[in-house]
Amino acid sequence: MGEEEDLDVQLEAQLAEQEEFEPPEEFVEQANVSDPGIYEEFEEEWPQSWERAADLLDWDQEWDAVLDDSDAPFYEWFVDGELNAAYNCVDRHVESGRKNHAAIKWEGEAGETRTYTYQDLYREVNEFAAALRELGVEEDDVVTLHLPMIPELPIAMLACARIGAPHSVVFAGFSADALATRMNAADSEYLITCDGYYRRGDALDHIEKANNGLAGVEHDVEDVVVVDRLGDELPHQLAENQHDYAELVAAQEGERVEPVSRDAEDMLFLMYTSGTTGKPKGAKHTTGGYLSYAAWTTQSVLDVKPEDTYWCAADIGWITGHSYIVYGPLALGSTTMMYEGTPDYPDKDRLWEIVEKNAVDIFYTAPTAIRAFMKWGEEYPATRDLSSLRLLGTVGEPINPRAWKWYYKHIGNESCPIVDTWWQTETGGMMITTLPGINNMKPGSAGPALPGIDAKVIAPDKSEVEPGRAGHLTIQRPWPGMLRTVYKNDERFIQEYWEAYSNPEEDEWVYFPEDGAKIDDDGYITVLGRIDDVINVSGHRLGTMEIESAVVGVEGVAEAAVVGGSHEVKGEAVYVYAITEDESGGDEDLHDRVIDGVEEAIGPFARPEEIVFTPELPKTRSGKIMRRLLEDIANGNELGNTSTLRNPDVVEDIQQQVRSD
């Protein structure tokens, strides 16, 4: 299979540099988890072993059973247990005498700061929850949050959780169209957004986009709440059903809302993510299993302790921010940092300045950011005191050993372990990573599966592949943080994640994350990347089909194929190959309109790196577009035999265009 060959090539490159690093003794001595026996314990007691995660939370009602697998793969966890996520992330820390401890430390791009103690958070979450109630938000109503990195985002999430209204956060960088698509898909009648925010010193208009999005919502939208982030800098008018956030909260001053007891399996939130088709999938996450899993992995993998200042420099608009900026660290009662802006504003040492100023203990980011730091140069972190750091993490895409080593040396001063954490929107939390107090690290390899997680690398015939060979990553047992379904689409849930490797007759269910991987003799797993039509641009997950449909929607484009090409900093970049409607072959105007089309349909983060107009796309004799070949062209790879193509001549033409740019 061509797919496997490709994986093998990537593999060789990664193997070339592998070495092992031991976790520093000082770290091990203080680690939350340092007994290697934990792996065995989880095996022996499974699934009961997961009570360890659930026990990190306060429950209103204890569960009757840890796992119900009678309707697999629609698993249920902590059956009949009841709890409230906001209570667990806020109230209980206030009650246990830690009300003056900082919960959220926020830094705006322009340098202003805000600190919310647990008491402050308690007050504002309650008041906003009361405001939502008064607007008419009821338990189980899906509330859409289209907000950038401002404290009102986690506050709104927790306010929703408090009243049992699932949130659906749409990353602020998503376009109006993308917002409308997600509100439509979720039948969401409430939107919380803001007037604008800062990016590289500019005041960015956000409400215009939100309003354009609202115009595309097919049902009635009851209410819109608008956070005034920019004040006079961006005057805006509110429509009749739009309310100012600060006014709503002020009107509820002193109000308290009893946290609603939610069933463990009740939806906590929806998170839309890209898949093989053009339609995003709503991953449904639950209150009991998800929150237990987020708390447990934050404690065991990120080693977060209540007294830590912990910083995950992701955006809350993605799952990483949900699990590891908001729910995990707040459930544990620690201090979580939030930064509004870009890492190079006003200068390229901004993140290190924040680490220094706040004495950050733990730092978690994406390989694409690390590669950018490398490019900027080691002098930026070198001028800052980073000695408060104890642990580093990465997430979102494979990390190349060179970037790993740079991070280890220039950020961690060779004294912080690095956890390379593999997981997905769908898994809710980390799945494959070293435990920093136990395992050695191998740059480029995420590590073993976490205790209780059964990961295998298998071949298309379902047999396990030999160590060192590329195959498909699978998860052979359920886990509490898993998505429960694709919202309103159980069929797609089965099709996308379970059909490939399960054996329903035998009631054997195998989860397929659609990643390629290889496993070493010691159980360490190297994740090689997606095998479906999903690409990973700067850690952002994009469906090539979504981009294609945007490109084809541009007037003058007849047909298009979109693939990922490797990129030094972004990991992958978007390559568009398009056939024009007339013979003109595509001019600058069309080029710009294709870019606009993609930015309008998805957002600026999906912007194509390269657009190649071509009279034809390379196709097999049966008429299928040869995507692999287009990928090879984008990557500048040696092309194999093209003689089986229906139209081999187009290849050279396309190749030349890519090279000449």
Q: Which residues bind ligand WT7 (CB under 6 A)?
A: 273, 319-320, 395-398, 420-425, 446, 513, 515, 527, 529-530, 536, 541
Q: Is the bond into 154 cis (omega within 30 degrees of 0)? A: no
Q: Within 10 A of 211 (CB to CB), how many other CB atoms are there?
A: 18
For residues 503, 507, 513, 514, the Cα torsion angle rounded to the nearest 10 degrees is 10
Nearer to ligand WT7, 350 or 541 (CB): 541
Per the structure block, which two tokens stand in for 29?
Answer: 């001595």
Mind giving me the DSSP string for 262-276? Answer: EETTSEEEEEEE--S
Minimal distance, residue 426 CB to ligand WT7, in Å: 7
Quick one: 121 or 319, whose CB is closer to ligand WT7?
319
* Least distance in angstroms from the C-beta of 28 to ligand WT7: 22
Minimum CB–partner distance for residue 23 and ligand WT7 (Å): 18
| Number of alpha carbons in the 13 Å side-chain half-sphere of residue 182 | 32
Nearer to ligand WT7, 446 or 475 (CB): 446
Interior CA angle at 420 toward 418 and 425, to 5°? Answer: 140
> Is the Cα torsion angle 398, 515, 494, 281 positive or negative in sign?
positive
Give min distance, CB of 370 to ligand WT7, in A.
12
* Sequence-distant (≥ 6) Cβ neighbours of residue 495 within 8 angstroms: none
Q: Shortest distance, CB of residue 391 to ligand WT7, whole angstroms?
A: 15
Q: Which is nearer to ligand WT7, 360 or 531 (CB)?
A: 531
CA distance 647 to 624: 12
Residue 641, phi then psi, degrees to nearest 5: -70, 120
How many CA atoms does the CB half-sphere of 629 hold within 13 Å? 22
Distance separating the N- and C-terminal Cα atoms of the chain? 32
Do 577 and 544 form a contact (C-beta atoms < 8 A)? no
Q: Which DSSP state fits 333?
A: T
State which residue, 381 or 447, has the beta carbon closest to ligand WT7: 447
Tell me phi and psi for residue 32, to 5 degrees: -60, -40
Q: What gap in Å lies between CA 355 and CA 335, rounded to an integer?
A: 13
Q: Which is nearer to ligand WT7, 59 or 422 (CB)?
A: 422
Task: Return the H-helix or E-strand segment holding 210.
Answer: helix 207-215
Question: Which C-beta is closer to ligand WT7: that of 260 or that of 537?
Answer: 537
The residue type of 633 is I
At closest approach, how far in Å is the CB of 540 from ligand WT7?
Answer: 7
Distance CA 403, CA 367 (A): 7
The tokens of 654 are what? 């396309």
Cβ nearer to ligand WT7, comparing 73 with 444: 444
Task: Give the nearest distance from C-beta 543 to ligand WT7 in angstroms.
Answer: 11
Least distance CB 325 / ligand WT7 (angstroms)? 12
Query: To the nearest whole angstrom, how small is the minimum distance from the Cβ of residue 493 to ligand WT7?
Result: 15
The least CB distance from residue 75 to ligand WT7, in Å, is 19
Q: Of the two residues 211 and 320, which places its CB atom closer to ligand WT7 in the complex?
A: 320
**Nearer to ligand WT7 by C-beta: 341 or 539?**
539
Q: How far apart are CA 61 and CA 544, in angstroms?
A: 44
Cα-Cα-Cα-Cα dihedral sign, residues 404, 537, 525, 1: negative
Cβ proximity to ligand WT7: between 257 and 528 the closer is 528
User: How far is the C-alpha of 169 from the C-alpha of 647, rounded, in Å?
Assistant: 45
Distance from C-alpha of 42 to C-alpha of 428, rounded to nearest angstrom: 19
Kindly tell me which of 473 and 611 has the beta carbon lying closer to ligand WT7: 473
Closer to ligand WT7 by CB, 86 or 446: give it: 446
Measured from the CB atom, the residue of 217 and 301 that comes closer to ligand WT7 is: 301
Q: Between the CA of residue 181 and those of 492, 542, 591, what are the distances in Å? A: 18, 15, 25
Q: Closest separation between CB of residue 529 and ligand WT7, Å? A: 6
Which one, 39 or 324, has the nearer CB to ligand WT7? Answer: 324
Nearest to 445 by CA among 409, 377, 396, 399: 399
Residue 525 CB, nearest distance to ligand WT7 (Å)? 9
CB 450 within 8 A of CB 503: no
Nearest to 476 by CA among 434, 506, 441: 506
* Least Å from the CB of residue 66 to ligand WT7: 25
The 3-state DSSP class for residue 525 equals strand
What is the CB-side half-sphere exposure of residue 316 using CA atoms within 13 A? 31
For the bound state, the minimum distance from the C-beta of residue 396 to ligand WT7, rounded and expressed in Å, comes to: 4
Phi, psi of 217 (to 5 degrees): -80, 130
From the CB of 47, what's the least distance to ligand WT7, in Å? 23
Strands 534-537 and 540-543: antiparallel
Let me know how long the chain is.
Answer: 661
Between the alpha carbon of residue 653 and those of residues 277, 625, 641, 660, the distances in Å are: 29, 16, 16, 11
Q: How far is the CB of 259 from ligand WT7 (least distance, A)?
A: 28
Nearer to ligand WT7, 39 or 422 (CB): 422
- φ, ψ dihedrals at 646, nearest 5°: -70, -35
